[in-house]
Amino acid sequence: MAVFRPASVLALLVAVCLASEDARALDWASGKLTLARYTQAFTRTSKDGDPLQSSGSLWLSLGPKLPEPFFFKAEVLGTVFYDSIDRRGDWDADADVKELWAGIDRSGFEFRAGQLLVPWGKTDGVNPTDYLTGRDLNYLSRDDAFTRLGAPGVFAAFTPNGGDSPFQFTGVWNFSYAQSRLLIPPEAVPAGLPVVTKASNPEIGSDHFEFAGKIAYLGWSWDASISAFHGRSHFPQFVYENGVASPAFVKEEAIGADFSRTFDGAVLRFETAYFFMYDGARGLEDMALTQPDHWDFVAGFERPFGTGFRALVQALYRYYPVLPDSQAYVGPDPVTTAIARGVARANALLVNYQEKSRLGATLMVSYESPEGDFEASVNVIGNFVGGDYRLSPELGYRVFPNAKVYLGANYYGGPDDRPIGALKNYSTVFVEGQYAF
**156-168 residue pLDDT tens:** 999 999 999 999 9
Q: Is residue 422 a part of any domain in this protein?
A: yes
Look up the domain containing 432 and give its range. Answer: 6-436
Q: Is residue 11 a part of any domain in this protein?
A: yes
pLDDT in tens, 24-83: 446 789 999 999 999 999 876 655 578 899 999 999 999 988 899 999 999 999 999 999
pLDDT, greater one: 202 or 374: 374
For residues 24 and 12, what is the distance between their CA atoms, to the nearest angstrom? 17
pLDDT of the residue at 1 = 32
Q: Is residue 59 a part of any domain in this protein?
A: yes
Rg (Cα) of the chain, in Å, rounded?
Answer: 22
pLDDT in tens, 239-278: 888 888 888 999 999 999 999 999 888 999 999 999 999 9
Q: Counting beta carbons within 10 angstroms of the beta carbon of residue 67, is it exposed (0 to 12), middle (13 to 18) or buried (19 or more)? A: exposed
Buried b (16+ CB within 10 A) or exposed e, 11-47: bbeebeebbeeebeeeeebbbbbbebbbbbbbbeeee
Q: Is residue 400 a part of any domain in this protein?
A: yes
Dihedral in degrees, nearest 10, Cα atoms 317, 323, 328, 333: -110
Nearest C-alpha neighbor of 12 from the set 55, 54, 59: 59
Phi, psi of 332 (to 5 degrees): -70, -20
pLDDT band for position 88 (cuts 50, 70, 90):
confident
Query: Which residues on adjacent β-strands are paired with residue 129?
Result: none
Query: Which residues on adjacent β-strands are paired with residue 228?
Result: 213, 255
For residues 345 and 360, what is the distance between their CA atoms, to the nearest angstrom? 21
Beta strands in 221-356 (DSSP E): 222-232, 237-241, 244-248, 251-263, 266-277, 294-305, 309-319
Q: Is residue 182 a part of any domain in this protein?
A: yes
pLDDT of the residue at 412 = 96
Q: Counting beta carbons within 10 angstroms of the beta carbon of residue 192, is it exposed (0 to 12), middle (13 to 18) or buried (19 or more)? A: exposed
Q: Look at the chain and report how many structural domains it folds into.
A: 1
Beta carbons of 124 and 364 less than 8 angstroms apart: yes
Helix (H) or strand (E) run with residue 403 in it: strand 403-413
pLDDT of the residue at 13 = 45
Average pLDDT of the residues in 192-218: 83
pLDDT in tens, 141-192: 999 999 999 999 999 999 999 999 999 999 999 999 999 999 888 778 777 6
- CATH (domain of 332): 2.40.160.10
Q: Is residue 33 a part of any domain in this protein?
A: yes
Beta carbons of 143 and 396 less than 8 angstroms apart: no
Nearest C-alpha neighbor of 330 from the set 321, 339, 318: 339
- Separation in Å, CA 416 to CA 44, 183, 383, 425: 12, 14, 13, 10
Q: Is residue 1 a part of any domain in this protein?
A: no
pLDDT of the residue at 46 = 57
Average pLDDT of the residues in 126-140: 95
3-class secondary-structure state, position 334: helix
pLDDT of the residue at 45 = 61
Nearest C-alpha neighbor of 330 from the set 286, 361, 384, 369: 286
Report whether pLDDT(10) > 50.
Answer: no
Phi, psi of 196 (to 5 degrees): -105, 125
Number of alpha carbons in the 13 Å side-chain half-sphere of residue 16: 13
